[in-house]
């Protein structure tokens, strides 16, 4: 049974909704940037043979733990430095999606036992057709208090992917929470200096993306309490197109049997290749 909202509570909820809508507007503006997930038009895995890929300037291949790029007449840039001759980049130990620029295109480079590249084109149909992501209405029932329990030492967490091999992430701990008086836990992932996670629930494959959604985890209070706001659950990049094979899938403990009708629903997906004709 839902507790009636008092006048004070209603004012707080109205303020929350205003903040949530402002966050949604900012998030969708971020999605629609010229070189973001919606502008991805191709993904290609590299091997030891120099190859030209449709819609992607230059020749690309892998030599050991280096990615090799021959601009082949194009002017490219990496980390602010232009190059027109073959260049070797050692990015195997670096962050994902490091970008090479070629004109108004960007090529993101990621290493996962092999290099793959994602080409981003501002003229991508998915970006031009984007009118927002459908969501559930914000619901106070899906703002849940939990408790973060840190491991004595960070643990390695092997997660599957939607189209590639397992990858090891770092997990600093779990959040324990209750739903309908039943205890659950949420495995936390450390990523780029923040805590996040991926999960599925009974809406996955129905009204939400089958492989799962992501949720940022705020820093816990001194006593370990933390707020899980599922109204801010968002889609993974692979929900928007078939160009992100390394999207993680949730660990077993993050697969919930109940429906979390909060956050983003399945977006329109336009995952086919796009090659410029002009």
pLDDT of residue 191: 84
Q: Which residues of the chain have pLDDT under 50?
A: 1-7, 271-278
How far apart are the C-alpha atoms of 49 and 167, rounded to whole Å? 25
How far apart are the C-alpha atoms of 220 and 231, rounded to whole Å? 18
pLDDT digits (tens, 9 = 90+) for 223-234: 999 999 999 999
80: tokens are: 């602010």
pLDDT digits (tens, 9 = 90+) for 198-219: 999 999 999 999 999 999 999 9
The DSSP letter of residue 43 is: E
How many CB atoms neighbour CB 187 within 10 A?
A: 21
Using DSSP's 3-state secondary structure scheme, residue 111 falls into: strand
The per-residue b/e assignment along 154-163, b for 16 or more CB within 10 angstroms, e otherwise, is: eeebebebbe
pLDDT of residue 113: 86
How many CB atoms neighbour CB 214 within 10 A?
A: 22
Is residue 209 within 8 Å of residue 236, measured between CB atoms?
yes
pLDDT digits (tens, 9 = 90+) for 110-134: 999 899 999 999 999 999 999 999 9
Give me the count of residues in the chain.
278
Q: Give percent of the chain with pLDDT exceeding 90.
A: 85
Q: Is the dihedral of CA 237, 238, 243, 249 positive or negative?
A: positive
């Amino acid at each position: 049974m839902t507790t009636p909202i008092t006048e004070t509570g209603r004012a707080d909820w109205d303020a929350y909704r205003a903040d949530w809508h402002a966050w949604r507007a900012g998030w969708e503006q971020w999605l629609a940037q010229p070189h973001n997930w919606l502008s991805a038009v191709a993904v290609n895995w590299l091997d030891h043979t120099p190859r030209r890929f449709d819609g992607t300037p230059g020749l690309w291949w892998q030599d050991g733990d280096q990615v090799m790029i021959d601009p082949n007449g194009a002017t490219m840039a990496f980390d602010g430095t232009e190059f027109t001759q073959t260049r070797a980049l050692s990015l195997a130990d670096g962050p994902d999606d490091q970008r090479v620029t070629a004109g108004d295109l960007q090529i993101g480079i990621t290493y996962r036992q092999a290099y793959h590249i994602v080409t981003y084109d501002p003229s991508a149909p998915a970006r031009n057709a984007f009118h927002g992501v459908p969501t559930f209405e914000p619901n106070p029932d899906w703002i849940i208090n939990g408790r973060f329990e840190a491991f004595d030492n960070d643990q390695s967490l092997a997660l599957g992917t939607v189209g590639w091999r397992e990858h090891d992430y770092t997990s600093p701990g779990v959040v324990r929470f209750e739903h309908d008086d039943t205890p659950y836990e949420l495995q936390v992932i450390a990523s780029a200096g923040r805590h996040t996670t991926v999960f599925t629930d009974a809406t996955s494959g129905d009204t939400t993306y089958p492989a799962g959604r992501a949720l940022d985890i705020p820093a816990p209070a001194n006593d370990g309490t933390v707020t899980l706001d599922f109204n801010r659950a968002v889609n993974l990049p692979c929900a928007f197109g078939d160009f992100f094979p390394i999207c993680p899938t949730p660990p077993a403990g993050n697969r919930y049997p109940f429906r979390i009708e909060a956050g983003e629903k399945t977006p329109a997906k336009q995952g086919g290749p796009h090659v410029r004709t002009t």
